[in-house]
Amino acid sequence: MKYHIHTIGCQMNMADSLRLASELEKLGGASTDEIGEADVAVLNTCVVRQSAEDRANGWLQRVGRLKNGDHAGLVVGLMGCLVGVKGNPKLARAFPQVDVFLPPSDPTALLNCIADRNQLHVERVAVARRHAAQDGELTLPLAQRGRLVSAHVPVVYGCSYACAFCIVPFRRGMERSRPVGEIAAETRSLAAQGVREITLLGQIVDRYGCDVKDGPDLAQLLRVVHETPGLERIRFLTSHPNYMNDDLLRTVAALPRICEHIEVPVQSGNNTILLNMRRDYTVEQYRSLIGRIRVHMPAGSIACDVIVGFPGESAAQFQDTHDLLAELKLDKVHIAKYSPRPGTLSARHMVDDVPAEEKERRRKALDDLQAGIVADINNRLLGERAQVLVEDFHRGKWRGRTRTNKLVFFEDERDRTAELVDVEITWAGPWSLRGRLPDASVDAPPPLAVTVA
């Protein structure tokens, strides 16, 4: 059985697709990049913005034509936020080419369908899955075993925050933290298969444990994960300004394997817009948080998300966002144009009144501002040495990231995959850095010992 998975959207979807691939291979599946060769094709969807939904529609039309043509036996799965935790009966009518609908993070329906069709013992599959989920252990798909350097591990599913613009709580459900033991087991199994870096994921990752009575918090989880043998780096995202406490910041600063990189969205630099977005913090509080992060991690980097063109955002209110970013000089800003999402508070009660061309103008203004800021930050790295974890070989160069999450390219004859190397930065652009290896690399770990159950 050959399977093909196409993933749209965030790192959480990438993690869900990885687990799905792992489970399909337990049923004897082998991955293929060619959908025409596949017996099973799955689309993992995102609905955060209309553009992501449009891409899903395009894929489903193509697959529909394939099924109506010479590939009638193809089993099609639709997974993720388009389906949602509660499912959506309208989808079956809209997309008759889909055989199985899968909520986010749960591949059971597809596994049972394949087990049925292949006359595998469904109950045995279900028991094996429950067992694996309780263990937390994850066997990497064959194509990634010994090659995947950086992996994502969900630690909190869903979100209970309900920002006015956001559809995620409707589709991914209430916040649910995974048990520490399960996360630790998954991390250990990934490290044993060659993964050197993990990123712990949650919509508000620093609310980890808040949904469990006397539950552990993110700082405690980080201390546990930090002890994973073979793991070189740990990251976590996304943080929310209201939950980044000093204990967490001290933990990040103190533990050497935790990278000094924080992703903490601001969304707007204007207090009225923040209030209308239901974000529950002010610009002053966000500014003070950035100051605290910089005290704890003076050499760290900070990324944020911003939405431009939220309902009612005036030119002056947008200018407040522009001014805040100009003042804070963050390392990375993910800029999104507001897109009304069905069912959200803003879509139901606010008018999407900023014209498309004005949203684009605001997006571009922030993009241009940020390009200048990042060029300045990166130029300061010229001539410096940066520790890079090498992820892969891309267009004739080795590619990896610094601890502060900056992309670095360098040349070398040797296979450097999964090594930690010191690179001297020789060129700096706004989106990436280039460098060269000094005479010797440092801290290169021993060759990968790949042990797979």
Residues that bind ligand F3S (CB under 6 A): 159, 161-163, 166, 168-169, 203-204, 240
* CA–CA distances in Å: residue 7 to residues 10, 44, 49, 115, 423: 9, 5, 15, 23, 32
Is 45 a binding residue for ligand SAM by CB under 6 A? The answer is: no
Using the rule CB under 6 A, is 268 a contact of ligand SAM? no
Q: Which amino acid is at 79?
A: M
C-beta closer to ligand SAM: residue 11 or 144: 11
Determine if 164 is a binding residue for ligand SAM (CB under 6 A).
Answer: no
Tokens representing residue 15 in the block: 């993690």
Closest CA to 279 of 164, 156, 157, 167: 164
Q: Any contact of residue 362 with ligand SAM (CB under 6 A)?
A: no
Min dist. Cβ of residue 73 to ligand SAM (A): 36
Q: List the single partner that 114 binds among ligand F3S, ligand SAM, none, CB under 5 to 8 Å by kind.
A: none
Residue 341 binding partner per list ligand F3S, ligand SAM, none, with a CB distance cut-off of 5 to 8 Å that depends on partner kind: ligand SAM
Least Cβ distance, residue 266 to ligand F3S (angstroms): 12
Beta bridge partners of 44: 7, 79
What is the nearest approach in angstroms of ligand F3S to the Cβ of residue 175? 8
How is residue 359 written in tokens? 């949203």
Position 338 contacts ligand SAM (CB under 6 A): yes
Which entry of ligand SAM, ligand F3S, none binds 162, CB below 5 to 8 A by partner kind?
ligand F3S
Q: Which is nearer to ligand F3S, 141 or 169 (CB)?
A: 169
Distance CA 63, CA 68 (A): 9
Residue closer to ligand F3S (CB basis): 100 or 166: 166
Give Dmax (Cα) for the chain. 64
- Side-chain-side CA neighbours of 383 within 13 Å: the count stands at 2
Binding-site member from 307, 366, 374, 428 for ligand SAM (CB under 6 A)? 307
Does the protein bind ligand SAM through residue 204 (CB under 6 A)?
yes
Region of 80-88, 338-346, 399-407, 437-445 interacting with ligand SAM (CB under 6 A): 338-346
**Six-digit token string for 391:** 């992820």
Q: How far apart are CA 15 and CA 226, in angstroms?
A: 20
Cβ 24 vs Cβ 111: under 8 Å: yes
Number of Cβ atoms within 10 Å of the Cβ of 392: 15
Structural tokens at position 239 = 């943080």
- Is the distance from CB of 164 to CB of 277 less than 8 angstroms? yes
Number of residues that bind ligand SAM (CB under 6 A): 16
* Interacting residue ranges for ligand SAM, rule: CB under 6 A: 48-49, 165-166, 168, 203-204, 238, 240, 265, 305, 307, 336, 338-339, 341
